[in-house]
Amino acid sequence: MTSFLILLKKELRYQLRTYRLLVVVAVFFIFGLGTPLLFHYMPEFMPESEITIQLPQFTTTDVVNEYIDTVSQIGMIASILVAMSAVAKERELGTAALTLSKPVGSGAFITAKLASLALVFAAGITVGALGCYLYTMVIYGDLNARDFFLANLVAGLYLLFCLAFTVMCSSFFKSQLAAGGLALVGLVCLAVTSGLPVMKDYSPGVLLVWSRDIASGGGSNHWGVLTVSLVLIALTLLAGWQVFKRKEL
Amino acid sequence: MKAISCQGLTKHYGNVIGLDNLNLDIEEGTIFGFLGPNGAGKTTTLKMLTGLSRPTSGRAWVAGEEITLYSSSLKRKIGYLPEEPAFYNWMTGREYLVFVGELFRLSPGEIRTRCDELLEMVDLSQAASRRVGGYSRGMRQRLGIAQALMNKPKVLFLDEPSSALDPIGRLEILKTITRLKTQATTVFLSSHILADVERVCDVVGIIDEGRLIIESDIDDLREHFARSLFELEFEEDAFPFIKLLEGLPWVEKVVLEEEKDTSKFTVRASDMARGKRELPKLIAENGLTLRQYQLVMPTLEEVFIELLGKKED
């Protein structure tokens, strides 16, 4: 077994033992399941009054768009909360020093962290997507499984970027809060600027637009955004590793 | 062959000097005691020698490997116990040792055997399946020693290994360190418990404010700092002999151990070498029956205080 696999196994056990895996999966499941239910029962949630509020007839597109928005927003917050401690906490406590006094590369250490978090979020998105798909089918009876799967894959890629960015920030600091703060500011700035003319063709935030397009059967392609996002994920990982390996423990 | 060699090893933290031009050679199989007050630079040295910190200047070799930050080939040959070992609290003691064994690429069989041996050695077999988060400080220290020995290291770095242990635990650890000598393991032991260092170490280095003050064989050090004092005890009354001694040019003072008892006294010499040469001859010439003749040797603690005290002056 390579050091990466040994560390990945350790990280996954950590996610399991500390209930992080369970919490992340539960969060995605609740929001995945809740979105179609919320839309279906929304008229019943409206308080009775003399003023008549005309609600539009919701379609599967509305449900899926809302689901993608929720997954991206909740997912981004969850990714910051879960990943901000990844490296910073180990440096702060001293566990990184003891692990890295063994024949382990700092690259394997960082990569295993990101890989384990990616697997946890992949499990969460899968469960959430299944919940959303099943209830949408039960309530609305019409959702293209292939498109919905691809839409989740693209949204998942956006969350992978959020995780990679937060892990990078975590390797900059010994303080989890500083790491989380920097990640939040960075990701919010990215989301806000995604609509700007130059950014709309390349920003990872546009992945969510693409995800919604795919889910609603739209034919637009954003291969440039996909390429840039993959390159940015690799670069943030590389930056995190390079910064971390220069840090003294 | 040298197990550890440092050439001008220096570490600066901004304007603060953590370690200043450390030159040190430690032979294979030596148990080296690294002494110094708090903040002297002991942990800084250990971190650089284990590849966890980068020197500002200078070079060092450990087990034939030049130290570089996070060098894997270096780490395969060393064991390291930090001052306050931090473990993954959600793991059990055994799980942590298995994890360390895997990182050293030991086979599953080797890991199992080594875990059993080490848990037994540090008296943690009963607590092996308990989570490390519930361990006492002493238990964590013992687990730290076990993990440092997992790969049967050529050079073992121990930073205050016995500071959190009770007297029996300390004794066990000192026995373990002594046993390592028979396995040709070099031990670099940083400690402020001078009695422990005195008990197990062959060579000591004393560091203060980042500078190595002295490096010496422990017996040579005590000899060097031996106070010029002879303790003598005779079967008979030695009053005439005391009078004779008081008249000699190399004798500074004769002090009776107990008033009116002239059979037991100490002689402070102004010239130690002459005293060592002439005193036995004089005793024989005066026909005295010797019960005790002892050159008073200082403890390591006295040497330590004297050295650091001199520096203060």
Q: Pick the range with the lowest mean pLDDT from A35-44, A63-72, A95-104, B187-196.
A: A35-44
The encoded tokens of residue B211 equal: 């500078």
Question: Would you tell me how many other CB atoms lie within 10 Å of the CB of residue A89?
Answer: 16
pLDDT at B80: 95
Q: Pick the range with the lowest mean pLDDT from A94-98, A113-117, A191-195, B13-17.
A: A191-195
Predicted structure pTM score: 0.83
The one-character DSSP state at B313 is: -
pLDDT at B311: 57
Is the model's pLDDT at A114 over the cut of 80? yes
Asked if B88 lies within 8 A of A95 by C-beta distance, the reply is yes
Q: What is the 3-state secondary structure (H, E, C) of chain A?
A: CCHHHHHHHHHHHHHHHCCHHHHHHHHHHHHHHHHHHHHHHHHHHCCCCCCCCCCCCCCHHHHHHHHHHHHHHHHHHHHHHHHCCCCHHHHHHCHHHHHHCCCCCHHHHHHHHHHHHHHHHHHHHHHHHHHHHHHHHHHHCCCCHHHHHHHHHHHHHHHHHHHHHHHHHHHHCCCHHHHHHHHHHHHHHHHHHCCCCCHHHCCCCHHHHHHHHHHCCCCCCCHHHHHHHHHHHHHHHHHHHHHHHHCCC
Is the model's pLDDT at A215 over the cut of 90? no
Number of Cβ pairs < 8 A linking chain A and chain B? 69
State the nearest Cα–Cα gap between B113 and chain A, in angstroms: 19
The Cα–Cα gap between A196 and A235 comes to 22
Asked if B75 lies within 8 A of A102 by C-beta distance, the reply is yes
- Can you state the angle between helices A223-246 and A206-215, rounded to 10 degrees? 140
pLDDT at B225: 72
Chain B CB within 8 Å of residue A6 CB: yes
| CA nearest to A102 within chain B | B75
Among B112, B122, B232, CA closest to B171: B122
Secondary structure class of B54 (helix, strand, coil): coil
Regions in chain B scoring below 50 on pLDDT: none
Residue type, B248: L
The Cα–Cα gap between A134 and A138 comes to 6
Chain B CB within 8 Å of residue A146 CB: no
Query: What is the pLDDT averaged over residues A164-187?
Result: 95
Residue type, B50: T
Cβ pair B219, B230 in contact under 8 A? no
Query: Looking at beta carbons, which residues of chain A come within 8 Å of B82?
Result: 94, 97-98, 101
Chain B CB within 8 Å of residue A181 CB: no
pLDDT at B88: 96
Query: Looking at beta carbons, which residues of chain A come within 8 Å of B50?
Result: 101
State the nearest Cα–Cα gap between B4 and chain A, in angstroms: 17
**What are B292-313's pLDDT values in tens digits?**
998 877 777 777 777 777 655 5
The encoded tokens of residue A241 equal: 């590793």
Secondary structure class of B201 (helix, strand, coil): coil
CA angle A1, B81, B164 (to 5 degrees): 135
- Which DSSP helix (H) or strand (E) runs through B84? none
Is the model's pLDDT at A48 over the cut of 80? no
The one-character DSSP state at B297 is: P
pLDDT at B82: 92
